[in-house]
Structure formats: structure tokens, C-alpha cells
Amino acid sequence: MAGKRQIQFHGPEHALERLVFFSDAVFAIAITLLIIEVHVPHVSGPLTDHAFLQALADLTPHFISFLISFYVIGAFWAGHHRAFNCARHWDPRLLFANLMMLFTIAALPFFTAFSSEYYGHRVPVALYCGWLAFAALCNIRVQRLVTAPPVVGEDVAPAIRHNIRQRGIGTFLGASTGFVVALFWPAFAQPALITIFFWRLLLVRLRPVR
């Protein structure tokens, strides 16, 4: 009718696109904040080559934590991208589940900075790995919603959905392994996250796609 504003409704594709674009922005900001926490070292005179190299060497725990968390956030983003490639339909449950997962990602730079500042100490490193395990659980929830009806596309093969879910479980098991290691050998907890890869291989052997 003339003089009245018309409300335009968008389909499910629009809702999915907005969710994915917003998620990509959160991932990008979180992964950028990691390097901001690695501060330029203060070098007191004399400004010799040895002094600069020693100052950089003192930042080794920060660089290690940065590299690990960069890979972790990148892996979460890749998994999120892989899962939503299967999405064809909208489900309102995706909103809260995805927001919870992004909440864990947005907080990861803090836990990275805390664990790198006190590298090798039980509480900071255990908190880091524990938070990562929590993030993995939130990610599993999102993956389950995206790879199941009514969200998943009818053309998506069961093998693809199975693989996505297994990768999410492998991440949780690897993060949990890091948490257990942190309780006994804190210095090796973050390197223990490499077990994510081996957990995924084991899950493939134990639960192959049929």
C-alpha cells in the first residue's frame, strides 16, 4: 500500500550467510589479537647484537604460544568453514550454539597470553588446555547441528558428515590430553596438543566410514 513501508523477509540462505560472515570476523580478530600480546622487548644498553638476540630469546615462550594458538584458531576456522559447506537450511538453534563457540574463540588470546607469560606453570597452562577443550565441546555442538537434518543438505554424503564429526571429537580428545599433561608436566602440555592429529587418525581406524 502507498505510504506504508514494506517489510522484506529474506530466506534461509541470507541467515546462514550472516552467521558465517560474522563468525569469520570473530575468527579474524581473535587470530590477529594473538600477535598483539607478543610485545616488543625492552633492551637496556649497551645495545649490542647479543643483547637484542637475548631479548628475543626471552620471548621464546610467547612465540611458541602464539604459533600454537594461531594454528588452533586457524584449525577451528577451517573446521567451521568445512562444516558450513554442508549447510543448506536454517535452524534457529544455530544462533546460540555458534555464539557460544565464538565466545570461546574470542577469549583464547587472553588464555594464550596468560599461559605464555607464566610458561611451564601448572595453573596457567592447565587453564589454557581446559579452555581449549571447552571450545572443542562447543564446536562439536555446532558441527552436530550443521551435519544433521534439518540444516544439512540432502546432497551431502554421509562420509563427509562423519569425517567432520570425527575431526571435532579428535580436537576435544587432544585438548583433554593437553590438560592431563598440564597437571603433571606443565612445560609439555601445549606441545602435547599435537596429539589432536593422532587422535583423529585413531578415530578413523576405530570408526571407519561405512
Give the CA count within 13 Å in the CB-facing half-sphere of 169.
Answer: 15
Q: What is the pLDDT of residues 29-83, one digit of tens each?
A: 999 999 998 888 888 878 899 899 998 999 999 999 999 999 999 999 999 999 9
Q: Which residue has the higher pLDDT, 11 or 166?
A: 166
Length reported for the chain: 210
pTM, to two decimals: 0.88
- In the structure, what pLDDT confidence band is assigned to residue 163 with cuts at 50, 70 and 90? very high
pLDDT at site 2? 44
**In the predicted model, is pLDDT for residue 3 greater than 50?**
no
Q: What is the pLDDT of residues 125-154, one digit of tens each?
A: 999 999 999 999 999 999 999 999 999 999
Q: Which residue(s) pair with 87 in the sheet?
A: 152
How does 60-80 read in b/e, with b if 16+ C-beta sit within 10 Å?
ebbeebbebbeebbeebbebb
C-beta neighbour count of 194 within 10 angstroms: 13
pLDDT at site 37? 85
- In the structure, what pLDDT confidence band is assigned to residue 185 with cuts at 50, 70 and 90? very high
**In the predicted model, is pLDDT for residue 28 greater than 50?**
yes
Residues 6+ apart with CB under 8 A from 198: 174
Q: What is the pLDDT of residues 70-112, one digit of tens each?
A: 999 999 999 999 999 999 999 999 999 999 999 999 999 999 9
Percentage, residues of the chain above pLDDT 90: 80
DSSP 152: B
Element (H, E) at 130: helix 122-146
Tell me the angle at which helices 122-146 and 158-184 cross, rounded to the nearest 10 degrees. 170
| CA distance to 6, 33, 69, 83, per residue, from 78 (Å) | 39, 18, 14, 9
